Chain A
């Protein structure tokens, strides 16, 4: 049974700092891994999708890496801003189930 874990559960950093969020999964047989952002009480915003054959994806100040063999992914946020404050979720899709399995999220606070 696939399980997804995100560490840390919460993180508070000063503005401008570079930071890394971690995601691990127990079953390496995944189709893809996706990172999302969720603001309080809102829906999810897709940040990056990494296919199983890829090692990393970049979008602006965000970079996500994937190491399938070790069951790990990291989301790197460069030069953090107060507007980055949100909960960040990673999710993996296994075989053709259409089901994303989510971690519990990392709640990030960036202080001005």
Chain B
């Protein structure tokens, strides 16, 4: 069984551009979560999607947004990129909403230059 897959593995963008990151959850999982792991800041919760709806978002500006598709895959969009957005972005999935074991993908390394 395939785990959580993320694409691309690496992404290099220029300040001010937009970045789109993609995530495919484990088959049968309906909830998808996005986290940011910036150097020295630890893992920070970004967004939670379940059944196509945004259920919760962390303390990030509105230029961080996303969506979940009918097949439960998800994408994270970051607009007007800033140098501080450089980080490892991790996606996780669970079988349903909360209180279950979370499985993470390998992440997308976003570098803003």
Does B106 sit within 8 A of A, measured CB to CB? yes
Question: Which listed segment binds B: A21-29, A35-43, A62-70, A78-86?
Answer: A35-43
CB distance from A54 to the nearest CB of B (A): 12
Q: Which of A93, A97, A105 contacts B42 (CB 8 A)?
A: A105
Query: Contact at A93–B98, with CB atoms within 8 Å?
Result: yes
A-B contact count (CB 8 A): 63
What is the interface size of chain B, counting residues whose CB is below 8 A from a CB of the partner? Answer: 28
CA distance A96 to B56 in the complex (A): 10
Least distance between B19 CB and chain A CB atoms (Å): 18
In the complex, residue of chain A having the shortest beta-carbon distance to the beta carbon of B91: A43
Secondary structure dominating the interface of B: strand
Across the interface, do B48 and A99 meet the contact criterion of CB distance under 8 Å?
A: yes
Q: Give the distance to chain B from A64, nearest Cβ to Cβ, in Å.
A: 13
Q: Which residues of A contact B58 (CB under 8 A)?
A: 99
With beta carbons under 8 angstroms apart, the residue of B45, B98, B101 that contacts A96 is B98
Q: Residue on A with the closest CB to B49? A: A98
CB distance from A72 to the nearest CB of B (A): 19
Q: Does B102 sit at the interface, judged by CB under 8 A? A: yes
Decide yes or no whether B103 CB sits under 8 A from chain A.
yes
Q: Is the interface of A mostly helix, strand, loop or mixed?
A: strand
B25 at the interface (CB under 8 A from A): no
Q: Are A41 and B88 in contact (CB under 8 A)?
A: yes
With A44-B90, A97-B56, A102-B43 already in contact, the answer to whether A34 and B33 are too (CB < 8 A) is: no
Contact between A34 and B55 (Cβ–Cβ < 8 Å)?
no
Residues of A within 8 A of B6 (CB): 43
Interfacial residues, chain B to chain A (CB-CB below 8 A)? 4, 6, 31, 33, 35, 42-43, 45, 48, 50, 55-56, 58, 88, 90, 92, 97-107, 109
